[in-house]
Amino acid sequence: MKAAVWHGIKDLRVEEVNEPKVASNQIKVKVEWAGICGSDLHAYLHGLSMNAHPITGEKPPFALGHEFSGTIVEVGEGITRHQIGERVAIEPLIYCGDCYACKRGFYNQCSQVGFVGLNRNGGFAEYAIVDENMVHVLPDNVSFEEGALVEPTAVSFYAVRESKLKAGDSVAIFGAGPIGLLTLLSAKAAGATQIIVVDLSEERLKKAKELGATTIIEGNRDDIVDTILNLTNGGVSVAYECAGVQPTMTNAVASVKQGGQVMAIAVFTKPVSIDMGQVMFKAANVTSTLAYRHVFPEVIDMISTGRLDVTKVITKNIELTDIVEEGFNQLTNDVKQAKILVRP
């Protein structure tokens, strides 16, 4: 079968590999669509650990891709809850089940947490092997394209659900990439009435406006905080940090009202500082989430019932053979792109 295999920095090869075999308690999925995530892009540009993962025992080279949907084509011994032919979305978290976090149900905080597609073969392939607990059945009215967006939507949905947002609140979203846009949709669905989005890209801001942002602000302006404070009569209830850099974190803290909250969703590749004087004066809360837990069924239901229209985040559909030039390189160089889906 064909797969997009990571061999090193900027060395992603579409090549023929052996079709994977199912072991006990595993499921084989024919991949229909897979999304390119910022984590995939980071692996492509900056690399992956070459050490074997403590749970999977696998190390590169392997196929990337952890946002994917498909059809079950084979089930291993011991599988009782799923059957051949089911249309599914994959929750790709790998966790031990035995550590302090896992035993409390916080499997996304597992001390050895990993991902299918980042710590073992993933969804940029014709077929993928997943564990039974990773499989979520899609209703007939949810397309495979929407199914591939369940995973990134879960990141934003979980962050919004864990935040202090209440119906009627105002929010600011710093960063209008895929996670920022999906956070916009989730906040809107949760009842936010004033949604302010800040980004450097004019194209992404246009997309945010299309998805329901009430105000868009160019990220290179020097009056971002003043504008938000004036628009909201003193600050937003929740600021979602979806960019992962110092300027946006600084502005997020400065933009919340008394008793407000900063929810960090982005992965920060470098340490950032926080003005604790502002945090204390406002009695504000700065917190974060990592990935998601126990939300895939709710996300699928929200998509199925039309309360989350995630298809508008898709900006391009490509074939697996074009994944490097039309996928990874496009996302690196073209700020108009949000979510690119790949069909193996």
Q: Which of 146, 125, 137, 53 is nearest to 320 (CA)?
A: 125
Domain residues of the chain, as ranges?
2-137+309-343, 156-288
Torsions phi, psi for 246 (to 5 deg)? -60, -50
Regarding the domain with residue range 156-288, which homologous superfamily does it belong to in the CATH classification?
NAD(P)-binding Rossmann-like Domain (3.40.50.720)
Regarding the domain with residue range 2-137+309-343, which homologous superfamily does it belong to in the CATH classification?
Medium-chain alcohol dehydrogenases, catalytic domain (3.90.180.10)
CA distance 300 to 60: 31
| pLDDT for residue 282 | 97
Listed in sequence order, the residues at least 6 apart from 252 whose beta carbon sits closer than 8 Å to its beta carbon are 172, 174, 239, 240, 241, 262, 264
| pLDDT for residue 243 | 96
Q: Which of 307, 314, 310 is nearest to 343 (CA)?
A: 314
| pLDDT for residue 335 | 83
Distance between start and end Cα atoms, the chain: 9
CA distance 335 to 156: 20
| pLDDT for residue 69 | 98
CA distance 241 to 262: 7
| pLDDT for residue 88 | 98
| pLDDT by position in tens, the chain (length 344) | 999 999 999 999 999 999 999 999 999 999 999 999 999 999 999 999 999 999 999 999 999 999 999 999 999 999 999 999 999 999 999 999 999 999 999 999 999 999 999 999 999 999 999 999 999 999 999 999 999 999 999 999 999 999 999 999 999 999 999 999 999 999 999 999 999 999 999 999 999 999 999 999 999 999 999 999 999 999 999 999 999 999 999 999 999 999 999 999 999 989 999 999 999 999 999 999 999 999 999 999 999 999 999 999 999 999 999 999 999 999 999 888 999 999 99
| pLDDT for residue 283 | 97
In the chain, the percentage of residues whose pLDDT exceeds 90 is: 98
Q: Over the stretch 51-102, which tens digit does the pLDDT of each residue have?
A: 999 999 999 999 999 999 999 999 999 999 999 999 999 999 999 999 999 9
Q: What are the structure tokens assigned to 208, written together?
A: 């945010």
Distances (CA, A) of 68 to 7, 51, 238: 21, 25, 30
| pLDDT for residue 336 | 85
Radius of gyration of the chain (CA): 20
Coil/strand/helix, residue 39: helix
